A and B are shown apart, each in its own frame.
Chain A
Amino acid sequence: MTRFVLAAIAGALFAIGLTVGGMTIPAKVTGFLDVGGAWDPQLAFVMAGAIAVYASLLRLIRRRSAPVLADRFHWPTARAIDPRLVGGAAIFGVGWGLSGYCPGPALASLVGGASSAIVFVVAMIGGIALARAGELARR
């Protein structure tokens, strides 16, 4: 229960951060990506603020032998820079540029935001299922 509540508080803080930073406004996101046009730099400051805080706290948290409510840290283990990583990132970028939604802001906008967020999130879950089915088929 404590683990659930603390994760929910982290999710809540995350949603507040996205909203304050302007990431729940798709036109602001595509404006940030419009580097050759009317460039809106605000999201660069969102990224800078997030990285500054996370990178600093990460260095303190890493000194611990284990997290507070789990037996170990789950660090990513993949090391390969392969076509799957680059191709996947490239595909994600096209979808992000088209819509102005990445997964976090889309989920924060799911209820009560634009109705288009619902269509986007349903399609996104479909895309996840499609990619996972494709990976299973290749094994």
Chain B
Amino acid sequence: MGAMMLVAILRGLAGGALIGLASAMLLLVHGRIAGVSGILGHAVDAGSGRTFRIGFLSGLVVTGAILAAAQPSAFGAGVRSLPVLAIAGVLVGAGTTLGSGCTSGHGVCGISRLSSRSIVAVGTFMVTAALTVAIFGAHA
């Protein structure tokens, strides 16, 4: 195994561990599932969840902005033309709303809870995502 591969594995595991830690923190402190699509989709709903949702989204967006300024190479360019990205955005927004979750809520939290709904959802979106890349390629 090459050094490049080892770095990729360690970066992946470290990044994943931080995502797991952040998600566990949201559960411990707020009693909430760290599903980004759900947090975004219900951000402006009335009720007790608004504080944690706006707080989480603020931390995510602001920290992303700081990291992008400090380390621009960690943020890649879009892989499609803007009209295709707009279509993809609508599909991601509508799909995660209907399917009640995305890579974080179903993929990390749901799989960890051994939720059968999440296992089915992850299996489904991994297959359609891989098929989409097989048909359209990994980039334009």
Contact present for A93 and B16 (CB under 8 Å): no
For window 27-47 of B, CB contacts with A under 8 Å fall at 27-34, 36-37, 40-41
Could you tell me the distance in whole angstroms from the C-beta of B116 to the nearest C-beta in chain A?
6
Q: Which residues 41-85 of B sit at the A interface, judged by CB distance below 8 A?
A: 41, 48-49, 51-65, 67-69, 71-72, 74-80, 82, 84-85
Residues of chain B lying within 8 A (CB to CB) of residue A54: 19-20, 23-24, 108-109, 112
A123 to B108, CA, bound (A): 24
Measured in the bound complex, the distance between the Cα atoms of B29 and A50 in whole Å is: 18
Q: Which of B77-111 contact A (CB under 8 A)?
A: 77-80, 82, 84-100, 102-104, 106-111
Contact A12 B97 (CB under 8 A): no
Judge whether A67 and B64 touch: CB under 8 Å. no
- Contact in complex: B85, A11 (CB < 8 Å): no
A120, B99: Cβ atoms under 8 Å? no
Q: Which residue of B28, B104, B116 has the most chain A CB atoms within 10 A of its CB atom? A: B28
Whether A97 and B133, one on each chain, are in contact in the complex, defined by CB atoms closer than 8 angstroms, is: yes
Contacts of B27 in A (CB 8 A): 57-58, 61, 67, 73
Q: In the complex, how many angstroms separate the beta carbon of A87 from the nearest chain B beta carbon?
A: 6
Q: Are A33 and B133 in contact (CB under 8 A)?
A: yes
B3: interface (CB < 8 Å): no
Complex Cα distance, B111 from A16, in Å, reads 22
Q: Tell me the smallest distance from the CB of B68 to a CB of chain A, in Å.
A: 3
Top 3 nearest A-B pairs (CB, nearest first) are A21-B15, A127-B93, A49-B16
18 A-B pairs with CB atoms under 8 Å apart are: A11-B60, A14-B23, A16-B67, A24-B76, A25-B75, A34-B138, A37-B134, A53-B20, A69-B29, A78-B100, A84-B99, A94-B129, A95-B88, A97-B132, A103-B103, A104-B60, A122-B86, A131-B94
Mark B residues whose CB is within 8 Å of A. Answer: 8-9, 11-34, 36-37, 40-41, 48-49, 51-65, 67-69, 71-72, 74-80, 82, 84-100, 102-104, 106-113, 115-117, 120-122, 124-134, 136, 138-139
